[in-house]
Structures are given as C-alpha cells and as structure tokens.
Structure 1
Amino acid sequence: MLFGKLSIILSLVTSLSASLDHTNNTEKPYPTSVFQQMHTMGFDTSSKYKLSTKVNQKIQLEDTTITITDVLYDGINIYIGYQTRPYNKVYHDYHFSFKVNGKPMDGFGYSIDQRKINNSQGANILTLTPRNPLNSEFELSLYLNQKNSKQNLTSSMVELPIKKIKGVKSYSLSLNKSLQGNRYSIKKVVFSPIVTAIIFDAEISVHDHNSIKYLLFNNEIMLNPLGSGGGGGPEKDGKIVTRNIARFEPLEKLPKRLVFQAVKVQNPKNGSNKLLEKPLSKLPLSLKQGEVGSIKVTEIKNGKNYTKIYYEVEGKEPYKQATAFFLKDDANQKYDMLKPPDRLSDDEYKFVATFEPTNQTDNLSIVSAQLKKPVSIDTFKVEIKLEK
C-alpha cells in the first residue's frame, strides 16, 4: 500500500524536439530495481512475476547521476523506475520530453513519485500517460532537459525498449452521469497486474476541477486510490473538457461488478496536529483516530530485522488511517514504517505494517494522528457490470 494518498496531476503538454547531446552508458551488474525499492502498490507484483524490463541506462547531470533500472508498460501508462545519486529533489530542476520510434510524442502527461532511500540515494517512478494508443512494442527516447549552474540548457537522452506486459484486460463502457452540472462519460475499465483504471471524459466547472474525488468499490470495499488526473482543452464558458484516468490498486481476480463514485468534497480548513498515544502492553487494543474512525491492533510479531504490527481500521478514510501512526518506546525512540502496509483481506480493512526492529518490545506504544473528516457535498455512483 501507499504512504497515504498520492496526489497525481497529469497535464497534457507538447513534446519538445531539439538537437540534443546523447548519453547512453550501459554497465553490469544491474542496480537494485527501483520497483522493488519503492514497495508501491502493484510494483511488488511486477517484481514478483518479473513483468518489468530491466535496463541500466545512466545520465550524468553535473553532480547528479540518474540510473534508470526498470521500465514497464501496461497499455495505459509507461512506468520508468530510476535512482538519483545523491538524493535530492532534482525533478524541480529538469523536465522530460519523449519520442516513440524516433517521432515526437505529441501529447502526454507524467507524474513523479519520489522516495528517499538514504542520505545518498533517492528512488523515483515516473508515470507517463500517452494521449494516443501505442503499439505493443516500441523504442522510447527519453530526453532530460536541465538548466545548469550557468543557466545554460543541457540535455541528455536514453533509448528504452518498451514491451506491453501480458495479462491486461479492458472493457469498453458507455455510462453517463451528471453531478451538479458536471457531466461524466465513463469509457473503459482496465485491469492490469499494476493497476485498475477507469477511463472517462468529463466536462467540469473550473471551480470544481480540483475538488472532485474518485472512488472505486469492489464488494462494498473501497479500493486503494493511486491517484487520478487528466488533460484536455482550454476553459470554455467556465467549463473544462478533459480525458481522465482514475487509478486504483490492482485486483487478483476479475470482479463481477464495480461501483465507481465521484464525490465533491470540501477538505477541512485546518488539519489536526494532535496525536493520541496508547501502550501496546495488552492486545487487542483500540485507538481513536479523530473524526474519521479508529484503529485496532491485534498482534505484534518480532523478527531479527523487523517488527510487524497486525491491525484493522474502521472509518471513512481507511487507507489514510492505515498509515497515520507510528511506534514509540519508553526511551522516546520513534519507529516509522519501512514500507507501505499490506492489506490482508479483500473484504476487510485488515493490514500488516513492517517497522524497524524495536529495542524494547514490551514497552512499545502506538501513536496515531487525529484526523479530521472531509465534508462530502455531492456524489454520484455508477454500477459497472462486467461479463467475463
């Protein structure tokens, strides 16, 4: 699972074509897979079943080395895993452009999920969403453009072999709904080992554009949202017309039905900085998490290199609640999750979280944030029935 909800905003841009310097260095052995390092929903599956294509392409930008370790294409998005040394937020200083088989990609959106591995290394996954369908196999040219210390534009390029993974199924849909004057047309649902995606067109008021939250339910259980975004034409008569992709956790089995929901929300103006703490000396133990619900710890397991906490959450924001806590011992030592928690059941919000090995297991406490509940203003639901 993810550390909280990722906010991914994809905007369609025009590819840049320019005369660029080429840097394409390959060496072995392969570095550690970024998909394995990130432990992000879906990519653990890709590592387990060896779905990604391993590459070892390096780009040198002044004092930063970027190593691309993996690429994966599921027919919706191209995922590019890369390491940065040293760790820093270099994506603020450069931008990407792309070509497919030597031709500029005329429209695309991309987002970057970055995580600090240690003080000298960062792990990143770039999610690239092409506007137009692509072939099952192609060569992707990735251009990295950056202004150097003298404010001169420097560019580098790598060639990446892309092959669509197997096991992707899609269903065309024609479902239309309205919410407070905003119109939606659901076009397709896609199932891949990496993601469950709903593709839809929307005509949305400019004022509502950033306040709509998309949810997907399977057997009344909310799927973990992995982000949504889209791009389209300019504003016209106070409306924006966009093509959108709402992304959720992958499903191991194809469902008979799903429920897609759009919610217009008003987030709390002031978040809570309050924390609530309880000792874990006696289990099971329940702890309030503010206005959204509660968490119940049922078991603790200790290993040589880890401490595992088994728990369940009850409330309106299950995935936010599942990551809104840490552990503390009586020496005031704080322990954070080593990776996002795993959900243990398809029909319940039960999780296991892995922490660093704790020094004083008998004196551990759980400390949870006290979360405020966003206000739901309006909503619509669409039932998606699937024929297998």
Structure 2
Amino acid sequence: MSEKELLLEEKDILKLLNYFRLDENEDALDPAADEVPEWQRDRIKKKLNRKISIIRSVKILRIGSIAAAILLAAVIAIETTSPVLAKNIPSVNSFLQMISDKFGYQGDYAAYTQLVDKSVTDHGITVTINEALADDTKFIFGYTIKSDSKIENKDLNLADLFMVTKVNGSRLGGGGARGEFIDDFTYIGSGEFEYDASAFLNKLKVDINVKEMLGVEGNWKFAFTVSKDELINNSKVFNTNVKVDLPDRVITMEKVVLSPIDTTIFYSGVYKDPEITQKDFTSTHYQWIVFDDQGVELAPKGAGEGGGIGSFTGSIQFEKANGIPHYLTVIPCVNNLTKDIKVNLEHKDQETQVAQTIKIPSVSRVLDGKFPFELSQGKMGKLIIKDIVNENGETVIRYTAEGKAPYHQGSAFYISGENVAAKNFDIRRDAAHPNEFTKVYPLLDLSKGYYASTSTFENEELLEDCKFTIELKQ
C-alpha cells in the first residue's frame, strides 16, 4: 500500500465521520444539525493524516484505506467527544473555542487545545476536565460540571477550582473563569489563570484536588500534563520598554506578546507615593483602552497585578489581534469609584470574600417599538439602537457605538426589566464593522415595558493627555 493511498481527502474524512457512532447508547451525529466548523475540519484532517502516518511507520496494521479511515475516525471522535456529556453540548474540542466566540474574541483556541478528557464522579456530581492549553504565563482549561440534582447559581463557586489547582507544585496566580448552563443539571466553562513559569520546563504538571463541589463535600482529583511548546512557538514577542508617566505612578510597558489566542501586555511600575501598596483600595484603579494600527479597539479579556510597598508588576490581556499590527495605541481610563461603596465581608475557610455594591449613573429609554433611537453616554459618546426583533425563540438587539472607545461603550448596553438576563456572555461584534454589535436575550414580551439602558460613564475618565503608542518591532 503506497503513501498516496493513505492520504485521505477532506471530503472522505468528513463523510466517514458523519456515519460514525460513538456508542450505541448515544445519539448519532446528525450531519445536518451538527455541521463541522471550518476550524474543526482542519484539525480533524491534520490529526487523522498524522495518525495514519504513525500507523504506517510502525507497520502494525495492514488494512485498506477505507478500513483505516473508519478505525481512525473512531479514534478522532473519541478524542473530540466526552462520553459524559448531554447531547445538546457542543463537541468537546470546541469548548474553549465556543466560549471565546461567546465573548466575541478572535482567539484560535481549537487549533492549540490538548485533550485531557478525565472525569470523576462523587455524590452524584461528575466533574470533567475536557481540555487544556498553556503558554509561558497562563494555564487554561475547559471543564464540565454535571449533577443528578439541579445546579443552583448560589452553589456554583468557580473560585473553588482556582483555590485547589496547582501547576508544577505551586498555586495559581490571578485569573478568572467563565461559562454557561447547558440545562438545569449541566454547566460548562473555562478557567484562565497565571502561574509561576519556569524556563526549564516545557510541560506543566497540573494537579486539581477538589474537596467540595456545589456545596457537597467529596473527592474530585485530577492529574495531567500540558505542553506549552506549540502555543509559544506560534507566538511573537516584542520587547517594548515604553515608559508611561501617569498622575500617581510610572509604568514601563515591558513587552507585548501576540499569540494565536490573545494579545498580552506585560508591565512593571512604581508608585509616586512610596507608601502606597497594590492592595490599597484608596489607590487609583485603571482600565486600559487599546487600539490596533487600524483604529479597532481590542476587546479586553482580563488583567492581573501584584506587588509590595511602592512597586508592582502586572499583565493585561485582550483579544487576538488581527494579524501583526505595527503599533498599539493605549489610553488609560480611571475608575473614579464613589466613596460610599458598601463592602460586605464574609469569612469562609479562612478566606475573605469581598462584595462591592456600586451605583453607576445610567440613562434609559422604554422600548416602544420605534427605531432607531439614541442613548447618550455623556462625554464618551452614544449608542444608536438600530432594531430589536424576536426570531428563533430569542430577542436580538442590534446597535452601533459612536465615540471615543466603541467596544468599551458597546459593552455598557443592557436591557432592564423584571427577570431579564443576557443569554450570551457578552456583546458580539460584527467582524467587518467593528463598531456594530449584537446582543441576544431569551424571548421577551416587549409589550411589558422593558427599557434599553446604558452607562453615562460619569464614574470614568479617559486620560487622553496620557495616551501613548507601543511600537511593535522585532
């Protein structure tokens, strides 16, 4: 059998996958309802041909090309489908990609995720670590929580996963988690956390030892490794060392990393008042509005900062940049938090949880069916609400942001009313028209007097006099 006979065409791979059943007790894939996305086609084709190459080199199997395709298609399907999932959950290797897409980010997670697929069940609760990936500074994993009983929001403490996870024997740094309910009994999500990197280790040894889940004591223990090589090898690092003089501190933007999944700016700095510490709640709180060289605002993903008396280090993450921009433009944004913030302290297992209640000035207009209309956002700009339609069992809102920071402004739109919650995590941006947005809600009866609302940004100030540029040159 020649090598040419073993190189399958994409159409053959996809056809075979359409007829493959993972288990006789599972629902078969419906080719019409479960169309394979483009990113997954490329991934399947690459993996399948690689596995065929491995079989050919060790000369274990002597089978025809069609039989080989069926066998190896089964291997791929097992890798991309978790046996513990409900049938309405997307295929496993799209978890991180799906959540990234929900937020409107541009990251190519699917091409770099590594299969974990480990499940532990205790007291009727199954936790599955589906997939993971890592680079030099952060560890990301996708997971599923499935319970025999209804999962209550109040019991879903995602910080539990953060507290019990170690990378190379050390606890994680800052980070965050996000996800959604698939049904009353199933939650899927992702966690993205910083870790103490080692230049000598190209693989991360991850240990997760959960002792409590959904308010139930038990034992959910996982151990696996994640390679960081592929993501690092496909990232570009720019040493920038741009110094920025802000009213209360001096910051050095040390480097920018453009990876296939995001854009990260690393910085260090000193406070002008040496007595201030990073944990001082009286210090100024900054956000960073970042634009690429085409003037498109990058969607923020997260940030982490730490330090001691007088100095600090940190990083800020944004969506993947479109190509390699020649430079980034950054505008600092100050959050002028009001002095009457109510802080509630609750002690649990020697950890302190802090809840802050902040009243943010806003403007609203009743949804009376007359479009378009405008919502002023003060000196920041305005939103133009183009239309609201009920389609496919959902309420879809389309609007445009005009002003100094369109994505930042667009993120501040919401609908107010009784029992209203956004179905998707965040706004979706039109790729061709980056100042146009869509937001999706469960089907609303618009005759019940809902309001379109947005912040007037009176609690924020863009420091346009402190705007600076980071040149990206290697």
CA distance in 1, matches of 2:200, 2:122: 31
Deviates more, 1:186-195 or 1:316-325: 316-325
Give the structure 1 partner of residue 317 of structure 2.
247
**What's 2:6 paired with?**
none
Residue in structure 2 matching 1:68, options 119, 123, 129: 129
User: Normalised by the size of structure 1, how large is the TM-score?
Assistant: 0.73
Q: Tell me the residue number matched to 2:158.
A: 91
Cα deviation for residue 186 of structure 1 reads 1.6
Structure-to-structure mapping, 1:159-178, within 5 angstroms:
159-163=224-228, 164-165=230-231, 167-178=234-245
Q: Which has the higher strand share?
A: 1
Q: TM-score, normalised by structure 2?
A: 0.61
Residue 284 of structure 1, aligned match among 352, 372, 377 = 372
CA contact (8 A) 1:284 1:297 kept: yes
Aligned equivalents of 2:122, 2:199: Cα separation in 1: 30
User: Does 2:354 align with 1:298?
Assistant: no
Which residue of 2 is the match for residue 229 of structure 1? Answer: 304
Q: 8 Å contact 2:107–2:319 — kept in the other structure? A: no
Give the whole-Å Cα distance in 1 for the aligned partners of 2:137 and 2:369. Answer: 44
More helix, by proportion = 2
Unaligned runs of 5+ in 2: 1-78, 340-358
- Are residues 244 and 77 of structure 1, via their aligned partners in 2, closer, same or farther at CA, if it must alter by over 3 Å? same
Rounded Cα–Cα distance in structure 2 between residues aligned with 1:333 and 1:261: 36
Alpha-carbon offset, residue 68 of structure 1:
1.1
Following TM superposition, by how much is the alpha carbon of 1:302 offset from its aligned partner in structure 2, in angstroms?
A: 5.7
- Rounded to whole Å, the distance in 2 between the matches of 1:227 and 1:210 is 18
Cα deviations across residues 288-318 of structure 1 (Å, max 9, x unaligned)? 3567543212355664354443210234564
Determine if the alignment matches structure 1 residue 271 to structure 2 residue 360.
Answer: yes
Q: Distance in 2 between matches of 1:202 and 1:113?
A: 27
Alignment pair present for 1:179 and 2:240: no
| 2:194 is the counterpart of 1:194 | no
Work out the CA distance in 1 between the residues paired with 2:204 and 2:125.
25
Deviation track 1:10-48 (CA, whole Å, cap 9, x = no partner) reads xxxxxxxxxxxxxxxx9943744432553444766435x
Match of 1:182, as an amino acid? R
What are the superposed Cα offsets for residues 239-298 of structure 1, whole Å, 9 maximum, x if unpaired?
Answer: 1x33211111211221111123434431345424764323234x3332335675432123
Give SS of 1:46's match.
coil
CA distance in 2, matches of 1:155, 1:300: 44
Opposite residue 259 of structure 2, the aligned amino acid is S
Aligned partner letter, 2:461: S
Matches within 5 A, 1:320-331: 321-326=409-414
1:342 counterpart = 2:428: yes
- Partner residue in 2 for 1:211: 285
CA deviations on 1:158-184 (whole Å, 9 max, x unpaired) are 214334336321111222233235222
Q: 2:401 aligns with which of 313, 316, 319?
A: 313
Give the superposed CA RMSD.
4.0
1:112 aligns with 2:176: yes
Do 2:104 and 2:427's aligned partners in 1 also have CA atoms closer than 8 Å?
no
**Count, aligned residues:** 349
Pair 1:186–1:275, CA change in 2 (3 A): same
Instruction: Give the superposition deviation at 1:75.
Output: 3.9
Q: Determine what percentage of the aligned residue pairs are the same residue.
A: 17
Q: 1:53 maps to which residue?
A: 114
Tell me the equivalent position of 1:81.
142
Alignment of 1:5-16 (within 5 A): none
Distance 1:291 1:344 in 2: 24
Larger Rg: 2
Q: Which residue matches 2:8?
A: none
Report deviation, 1:327: 5.6
Contact 2:284-2:335 within 8 A present in 1 as well? no
Per-residue deviation, 1:342: 1.9
